């Protein structure tokens, strides 16, 4: 495998990133003066030109400002924006009928000229396409004989070993033989649901939730029980306990780290408590960890699965949000249901491309992979800060905004006078696409909700377009 140590973070980013983290966490407050260029150069043992490059990067991220003949200071941050409220619980399970807008907003290629805020997946400008290309080319060259043989249904064993090593960073000790490689994270989720439910069963999930989860539940004829979810701390375990005591819940489907669309992260103590609840009630917990590598703190990346000793957690994951959506590879470790899931996959699917599996194994095993993830998180954080600044300056007073610790999604709760669906229509008329809250729940929930995705083919038109969304929201209020 190619050694990527020469592709670790550039020196200027090794200086800029810790400063950026201190600013975002409030350790360096607005108005604080930074050490001088000379002092930083001496502290890090680098040339002053490298320090200047780091400071310019922080300026571009709008984290610091320069004052003539005085130095660099922490920039004023956006005014503190209130966070969205916690969703009200649904009192009974519902048959799932996803909002018809979901496919138009989230599931299809958008028309030419549309400025889209529908994607939470990094685009090619954030992902290292050359690194992926080299890994695929190496895999084809070294394993071309596999192109002429049927692949193993569970995946190439070398790729599964690489995934088991990767999972150590998620806090897990997994046996490679128990890992099943799939055609993506949603494929893993669907396999898990097929394994532990029958049509008509009740599945608990976060509210608001990922639109694709609702689609899968509808396709499998399952009923949804939406559990209120806090925008910072995630799913309410007290509400879940009430649901388990009063409803025949067969499975829980959730994203503990950077949930979609809220971006919430469940505290580790709550994760441990949830795993204990699952064991006590015999509940299958389907954990989607697709966003784990985008979380800013290492502790946030520890999965529910890492606490699971009874086999009730089914861990689903892929690298489409961090490496290459085009590889279309995911994986699952299904706990006590591993063999049952494997049989279902044998019947309904088959194997993926072993060559691509080995290319993925190469990518996640390279010594520079962790540095690449740090650089990706840093670039994403700059974009999110810029978007929150636009929202603070141009959206109506009373707008509530999530502040996720990573990822490319922002959840907005607009003032009651603004209907998100009507705002969606007004934006469409100006070739701007935003996702109204109604597509993230059942029965028309979240009429003031708006998800802003900062991924996809991002360009210079996006921030002005976001400002225009705010202006249209202002007009809807009569401002």
**Domain-ending residue, one of 337, 365, 393:** 365
Residues 133 and 223 in one domain: yes
CB atoms within 10 A of CB 45: 8
Q: Is 81 within the bounds of a domain?
A: no
The whole-number pLDDT of residue 1 equals 41
Q: Please check the confidence at residue 254 and state whether its pLDDT lies above 90.
A: yes
Does the residue 422 lie in any domain?
A: yes
**52-61, 255-264, 275-284: range with lowest mean pLDDT:** 52-61
Same domain, 135 and 269: yes
Q: Looking at the structure, tell me whether residues 250 and 390 fall in a common domain.
A: no
What CATH number is attached to the domain comprising 186?
3.40.640.10
In-domain check, residue 314: yes
- Could you say which of 336, 365, 394 is where a domain stops? 365
DSSP sequence for 336-392: GGHHHHHHHHHHH-----HHHHHHHHHHHHSTTHHHHHHHHHHHHHHHHHHHHHHHH
Residue 448 has pLDDT above 50, yes or no: yes
Give the tokens for residue 152: 């193993």
Tell whether 88 is covered by a domain.
no
The mean predicted confidence, pLDDT, of the chain is 90
Q: Taking the model in full, what pTM does it have?
A: 0.86
- Is residue 93 in a domain? no
- If asked whether residues 377 and 406 sit together in one domain, one would say yes
Whether the pLDDT of residue 411 is over 50: the answer is yes
- Domain span at residue 21? 5-74
Q: Is the predicted pLDDT of residue 3 greater than 60, yes or no? A: no
Same domain for 298 and 406: no
CATH number, residue 61: 1.10.10.10
272-326 pLDDT, tens digit per residue, is: 999 999 999 999 999 999 999 999 877 889 999 999 999 999 999 999 999 999 9
Same domain, 215 and 103: no
**Pair 351, 376 in one domain:** no
* Nearest partner of 296 among 40, 105, 23, judged by Cα: 23
Residue 179 lies in a domain: yes
Pairing of strands 249-254, 284-288: parallel
What is the total count of domains within the chain? 3
Phi-psi label, residue 10: left if phi above 0, alpha if psi -120 to 50, beta otherwise: beta
- Looking at the structure, tell me whether residues 391 and 409 fall in a common domain: yes
435 lies in the same domain as 303: no
349 and 378 in a common domain: no
CATH number for the domain that contains residue 458: 3.90.1150.10
Taking residue 479's Cβ as centre, other Cβ atoms within 10 Å add up to 10
* pLDDT score of 334 more than 60: yes
Give the pLDDT of residue 4: 40
pLDDT at 298: 78
User: Measured between alpha carbons, how far apart are the two ends of the chain, in Å?
Assistant: 59
Domain boundary among 365, 391, 410: 365
Does residue 142 belong to any structural domain of this protein? yes
Chain-centroid distance, C-alpha 177: 27
| Together in a domain, 187 and 297 | yes
Residue 85 within a domain: no
Tell me: do 110 and 193 sit in the same domain. no
Listing DSSP states for 143-212 in one string gives SGGGGGSPPPTT--HHHHHHHHHHHGGGT----GGGEEEESSHHHHHHHHHHHH--TT-EEEEEES--HH
């Amino acid at each position: 495998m190619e050694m990527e140590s020469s592709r670790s973070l550039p020196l200027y980013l090794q200086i800029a990133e810790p400063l950026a983290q201190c600013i975002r966490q409030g350790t360096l407050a607005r108005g604080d003066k930074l050490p001088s260029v000379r002092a930083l150069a001496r502290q890090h043992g680098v040339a002053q030109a490298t320090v200047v490059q780091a400071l310019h990067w922080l300026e571009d991220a709008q984290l610091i400002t320069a004052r003539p003949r005085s130095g660099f200071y922490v920039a004023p941050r956006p005014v503190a924006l209130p966070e969205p409220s916690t969703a009200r619980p649904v009192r009974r399970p519902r048959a799932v009928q996803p909002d018809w807008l979901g496919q138009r907003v989230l599931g299809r290629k958008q028309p030419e000229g549309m400025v889209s805020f529908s994607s939470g997946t990094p685009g090619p400008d954030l992902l290292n396409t050359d690194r992926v290309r080299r890994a695929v080319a190496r895999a084809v060259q070294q394993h071309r004989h596999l192109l002429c043989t049927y692949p193993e249904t569970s995946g190439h064993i070398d790729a599964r070993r690489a995934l088991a090593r990767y999972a150590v960073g998620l806090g897990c000790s997994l046996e490679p033989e128990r890992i099943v490689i799939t055609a993506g994270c949603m494929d893993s989720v669907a396999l898990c649901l097929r394994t532990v439910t029958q049509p008509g069963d009740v599945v608990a999930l976060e509210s608001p939730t990922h639109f694709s989860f609702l689609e899968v539940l509808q396709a499998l004829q399952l009923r949804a029980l939406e559990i209120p979810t806090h925008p910072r701390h995630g799913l309410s375990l007290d509400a879940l306990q009430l649901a388990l005591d009063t409803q025949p819940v067969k499975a829980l489907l959730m994203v503990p780290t950077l949930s979609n669309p809220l971006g919430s992260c469940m505290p580790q103590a709550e994760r441990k408590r949830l795993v204990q609840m699952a064991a006590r009630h015999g509940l299958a917990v389907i954990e989607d960890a697709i966003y784990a590598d985008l979380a800013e703190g290492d502790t946030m990346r520890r999965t529910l699965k890492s606490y699971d000793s009874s086999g009730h957690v089914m861990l689903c994951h892929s690298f489409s949000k961090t490496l290459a959506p085009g590889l279309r590879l995911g994986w699952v470790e299904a706990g006590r249901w591993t063999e049952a899931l494997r049989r279902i996959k044998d019947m309904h699917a088959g194997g993926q491309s072993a060559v691509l599996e080995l290319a993925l194994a190469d990518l996640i095993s390279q010594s520079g992979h962790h540095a690449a993830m740090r650089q990706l998180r840093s670039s994403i954080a700059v974009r999110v800060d810029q978007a929150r600044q636009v929202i603070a300056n141009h959206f109506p007073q009373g707008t509530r905004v999530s502040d996720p610790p990573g990822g490319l999604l922002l959840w907005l709760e607009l003032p009651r006078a603004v209907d998100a669906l009507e705002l969606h229509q007004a934006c469409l008329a100006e070739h701007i696409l935003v996702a109204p809250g109604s597509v993230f729940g059942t029965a028309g929930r979240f009429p003031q909700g708006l998800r802003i995705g900062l991924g996809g083919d991002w360009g210079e038109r996006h921030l002005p377009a976001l400002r225009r969304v705010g202006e249209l929201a202002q007009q809807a209020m009569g401002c």
